[in-house]
């Protein structure tokens, strides 16, 4: 059972204790270790991302506290392993409505509130304190510092590419080793581990998304993508079988359909349409024309838009419309601007929450998106490669290239053809799309 955090003594009482110690000849040192206990209404140090992969960039310090609270008079004090202070960051502004105040090293950090290069803390072993004037509000130490200015025993070090986060979000038992866990970074978001039910994201596998030389599975080429979403606190699973049904979508927040190879029936289309109308999110990931992996005459643009009237020569009436995404969602995988060889760099063409921290994404082989009803978010050469739309209570998104979010792994353990298509370069985009579809962004 978690320890109950006692209320901090008032500043006046602390001053009285200090005077008493002085009278006894025991003047407290400025760095006397203590168990910092945030007053009700005070923020806590909620997440530290101090060691990114390669040269440090995109690091941050996240505070969690009451929305609207002014941070005037608050500072962050950083200490090295020996307990020597090496940096002070002066805070300003107020805590956003989200309850998260993110001090970012640079402008690449999503949901940033304040940019200060000092947010790039020492790797390995160190300490950080949140101060209000000279009063310690909260503190964390990590690694094995020879002098710790944290609470209780230090938290584990992260290693490059991971963050140190309070799990459950905002929890404070006054023991850093208990409160902080190593996980994927989640700037400005819940760290996970709460008692509330996690939102569910399903990756479709009913339409032969792993046929031929494709492997768009969460235990294959999309394993990194799935792991990144789990790091955000989502439950990630696979929709298997042969059909997408209303029963299968019950309780689901987001359905991802990556490069489908088999058409959808009228019943399936109706189930997906109702799912979105009632608040669900659908992420359609397409590819170029003539990307028929299972040789049945269907490629992913046709599966999303409907039969093009060519091959296969005979298609039953119930399958001809397939998903009909251009009609029911206003997003169409273009039949006229598909490509199989060039590599394009899509960049933002507007402002949108999905684009927080996103400067570009590779479109390696795919097709552009015709936005008939909604918004074009990213493009290149006058063509759109990411479009979104709100339909009823729900949201939909379409991206023109399945390989953008893939890594170099097949589900059978062998290497795929994705070594030039690194997931990590597009991790922020992929996560942001799902977060927006789930209503979390």
d(CA 431, CA 220) in angstroms, rounded, equals 18
The predicted pLDDT at position 17 comes to 35
Class of domain 200-437: alpha beta
The predicted pLDDT at position 419 comes to 53
**401 near 379, Cβ under 8 Å?**
no
Residue spans in the chain of domains classed CATH 3.40.50.880? 200-437
Element spanning 345, H or E: strand 344-348
Token representation of residue 367: 């097709």
The predicted pLDDT at position 196 comes to 41
**Among candidate residues 198, 196, 216, 197, the one with its CA nearest the CA of residue 207:** 216
Token look-up 């601007």 returns 337
Answer yes or no: pTM beyond 0.85: no
- Fold (topology level) of 31-183: Immunoglobulin-like (2.60.40)
Residue spans in the chain of domains classed CATH 2.60.40.1260? 31-183
441 residues of the chain, pLDDT tens digit each: 233 333 333 333 333 333 333 333 333 333 444 444 445 678 999 999 999 877 888 999 999 988 889 999 999 999 999 999 999 999 999 998 888 999 999 988 989 999 999 999 999 899 999 999 989 999 999 999 999 999 999 999 887 888 999 988 888 888 899 899 888 888 998 887 543 457 899 999 999 999 998 899 999 889 888 888 887 778 899 999 999 999 999 999 999 999 999 999 999 999 999 999 999 999 999 999 999 999 999 999 999 999 999 999 999 999 999 999 999 999 999 988 877 778 899 999 999 989 987 888 988 889 999 999 999 999 999 999 999 999 999 999 999 998 888 877 788 877 766 555 544 347 789 988 998 999 887
Element spanning 327, H or E: helix 325-328
**Among candidate residues 293, 291, 323, 287, the one with its CA nearest the CA of residue 305:** 323
In sign, the C-alpha dihedral spanning 27, 33, 35, 37 is: positive
DSSP string, 35-86: ---PPTT--EEEEEE---SSS--S-EEEEE--TT-B-TTEEEEEE-TTS-EE
The predicted pLDDT at position 40 comes to 60
């Amino acid at each position: 059972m978690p320890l109950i955090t006692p209320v901090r003594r008032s500043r006046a009482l602390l001053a009285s204790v200090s005077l008493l110690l002085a009278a006894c000849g025991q003047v407290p040192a400025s760095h006397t270790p203590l168990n910092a206990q945030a007053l009700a209404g005070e923020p806590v140090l909620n997440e530290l991302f101090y060691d990114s992969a390669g040269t440090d960039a995109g690091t941050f310090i996240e505070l969690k506290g009451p929305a609207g609270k002014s941070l005037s008079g608050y500072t962050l004090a950083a200490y090295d392993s020996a307990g020597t202070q090496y940096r002070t960051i002066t805070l300003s502004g107020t805590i956003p409505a989200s309850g998260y105040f993110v001090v970012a090293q640079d402008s690449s950090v999503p949901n940033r509130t304040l940019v200060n290069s000092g947010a790039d803390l020492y790797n390995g072993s160190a300490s950080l304190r949140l101060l209000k004037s000279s009063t310690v509000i909260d503190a964390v130490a990590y690694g094995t510092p020879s002098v710790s200015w944290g609470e209780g025993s230090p938290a584990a070090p992260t290693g490059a590419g991971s963050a140190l986060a309070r799990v459950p979000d905002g929890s404070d038992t006054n023991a850093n080793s208990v409160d902080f866990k190593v996980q994927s970074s989640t700037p400005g978001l819940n760290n996970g581990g709460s008692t509330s039910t996690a939102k569910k994201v399903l990756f479709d596998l009913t339409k032969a998304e792993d046929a031929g030389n494709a492997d768009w599975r969460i235990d294959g080429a999309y394993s990194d993508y799935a792991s990144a979403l789990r790091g955000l606190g989502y439950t990630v699973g696979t929709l298997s079988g042969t059909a997408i049904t209303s029963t299968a979508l019950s309780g689901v927040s987001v359905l991802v359909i990556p490069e489908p190879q088999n058409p959808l029936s009228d019943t399936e289309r109706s189930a997906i349409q109702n799912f979105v109308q009632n608040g669900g999110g659908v992420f359609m990931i397409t590819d170029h024309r003539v990307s028929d992996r299972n040789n049945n005459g269907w490629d992913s643009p046709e599966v999303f838009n409907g039969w093009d009237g060519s091959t296969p020569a005979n298609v039953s009436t119930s399958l001809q419309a397939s998903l009909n995404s251009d009609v029911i969602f206003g997003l169409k995988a273009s039949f006229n601007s598909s490509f199989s060889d060039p590599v394009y760099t899509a960049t933002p063409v507007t402002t949108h929450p999905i684009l927080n921290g996103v400067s570009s994404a590779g479109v390696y082989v795919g097709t552009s998106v015709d936005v008939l009803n909604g918004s074009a978010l990213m493009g290149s050469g006058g063509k759109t490669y990411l479009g979104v739309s709100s339909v009823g209570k729900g949201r939909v998104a379409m991206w023109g290239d399945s390989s953008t979010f893939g890594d170099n792994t097949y589900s059978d353990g062998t290497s795929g053809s994705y070594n030039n298509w690194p997931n990590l370069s597009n991790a922020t985009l992929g996560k942001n799309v799902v977060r927006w579809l789930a209503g979390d962004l």
